[in-house]
Structure 1
Amino acid sequence: MARTVQITFDCADPGATAAFWAEALGYRLQEPPAGFESWDAALDAMGVPPEQRNDASAVLDPDGVGPRIFFQRVPEPKQNKNRLHLDIRSAVGLEGDARMAALEAEAQRLITHGATRLQRFEPALPLDGGHLVMADPEGNEFCLD
């Protein structure tokens, strides 16, 4: 039996981190529960105090194909390099200079949303067409591939 996957990020600011990843992936923020016009209204009804309202957030693929991505507040900061990371496939089908130009353009777009460019790997065919290593606003590494 096949299973679905949810990807979870530990972070200091779930709302901001979710907004970044929604932008990066073309996802949307998860809407409040049915019957509520906003998350504040839903959280009021649930009795969640204001200081806990940024404890979690989630983003969804608008087409319902990709996994839900959940963001949860944790007290400790990021300590080391990720052992798992996401690859954002932003140059599929492109090769050489055209591929690297598309990756650089996407890197610049994401930098305006808080990402940091960490490293560029030139094409090393046949296995690697070139990629960029980036970090989200909280330092979580990801690749533009």
Structure 2
Amino acid sequence: MASIKEFQVTFDCADPERVARFWCEVLGYVRPTPPSGFASWDDYDRSLPSEERGAWSACQDPAGVGPRLYFQRVPEGKVVKNRVHLDVRVGTGLVGEERVARLEAECARLVALGGVRVRLLLADEHNESCLHMLDVEGNEFCLD
């Protein structure tokens, strides 16, 4: 049986372009190249029937290492806690006050982009500190 190595993470959302722009900034990702024959994603979007315009967006790791993120418009809003979330690894190898300072600095950058700080979870006997946040549409993620 073959082992699957590639996957994408899909987000349901109201405004795929807005959420994709936020995550591009969080992760240093980029938008994929527009389809052949289109100079920009806006040109491509204008070619679609009106009900399909803005229905999805995506971003990808420019180095091709990390998973692709896909954002699809859905009619319903988010109503419960995510069952899966991303941990953005900004404090790897750091401990104590140095780790917390790094988490707080990244949190401040992401709040300026529209993210929301929820709470800092301080280290205990089993886990290092992490910072719980929400993206621009309320999807949970952690700075870890």
Q: Tell whether the structures are fold-level matches, with TM greater than 0.5.
A: yes
TM-score interval, smaller chain: over 0.9
Q: Contact conserved, 2:45 with 2:54, CA < 8 A, in 1?
A: no
User: Greater shift after overlay, 26-35 or 53-62?
Assistant: 26-35
Supply the AA of the counterpart residue of 2:16.
Answer: P
% identical aligned pairs: 51
Cα displacement (A) at 1:2:
2.2
Q: Does 1:134 align with 2:133?
A: yes
Counterpart in 2 of 1:32?
Answer: 34
Supply the AA of the counterpart residue of 2:3.
Answer: A
Q: Contact conserved, 1:30 with 1:57, CA < 8 A, in 2?
A: no
Q: Contact conserved, 1:57 with 1:72, CA < 8 A, in 2?
A: yes
Count matched residues: 142
In structure 2, distance between residues paired with 1:65 and 1:113: 24
Q: TM-score, normalized by length of structure 2?
A: 0.93
Supply the AA of the counterpart residue of 1:59.
Answer: C
Which segments of 5 or more consecutive residues in structure 1 lack a partner in the other structure? none
Counterpart in 2 of 1:57?
Answer: 57
CA RMSD of aligned residues (A): 1.2
Cα displacement (A) at 1:16:
0.1
In structure 2, distance between residues paired with 1:49 and 1:138: 25
Cα displacement (A) at 1:51:
4.9
Which segments of 5 or more consecutive residues in structure 2 lack a partner in the other structure? none
Q: TM-score, normalized by length of structure 1?
A: 0.93
